[in-house]
Amino acid sequence: MAKIVHAQHGGVIPADLETLTTLPGVGRKNASVFLVEFHNMPAMPVDTHVARFAKRLGFSKGKNVVEIERDLCEILPRENWADYHLLMVLFGRYYCKATKPECATCKLKEDGLCSWTK
């Protein structure tokens, strides 16, 4: 990848999703994380935690990360994508876990916002 960045992009890692995902080893999620974290650009990286949380909350019925990303981008304000992404990653990783989520003490359930536990 480094050789391609050097030879084809003047040694500068591209700052657009389409070009980034042509680089070997760079998938859509990693490209989006790079845009959000390094360039502070609006993007919605969808990892396993974001995907699980989005489905449990009823934000998306997407069958893959591209569909989930599309759904999240439609309903969440663009200027806050980076913040929402990080919140969903952390909430999914430590609270709304894949196995044994903390539903018993979850405020979202208490407020009737989680479609997974209804």
Residues that bind ligand SF4 (CB under 6 A): 56, 95-96, 101-103, 106, 108-109, 114, 116-117
CB of 81 vs ligand SF4, minimal distance in Å = 20
**Is 29 known to be catalytic?**
yes
1, two tokens: 């990848």
| Residues 27, 39: Cα–Cα separation, whole Å | 17
47 annotated active-site: yes
- Which position among 47, 83, 107, 109 bears the catalytic label? 47
Q: Which is nearer to ligand SF4, 53 or 81 (CB)?
A: 53
| Minimum separation from the CB atom of position 39 to ligand SF4 (A) | 30
Kindly name the residue from 3, 29, 100, 107 that is annotated as catalytic: 29
* CB of 5 or CB of 103, closer to ligand SF4: 103
DSSP code per residue over the chain = -HHHHHHHSTT----SHHHHTTSTT--HHHHHHHHHHHH--------HHHHHHHHHTTS---SSHHHHHHHHHHHS-GGGHHHHHHHHHHHHHHTS-SSS--GGG-HHHHTT--GGG-
Is-contact 85 45, C-beta < 8 A? yes
Q: Which is nearer to ligand SF4, 37 or 47 (CB)?
A: 47
- Least Cβ distance, residue 96 to ligand SF4 (angstroms): 3
Catalytically annotated residues? 29, 47
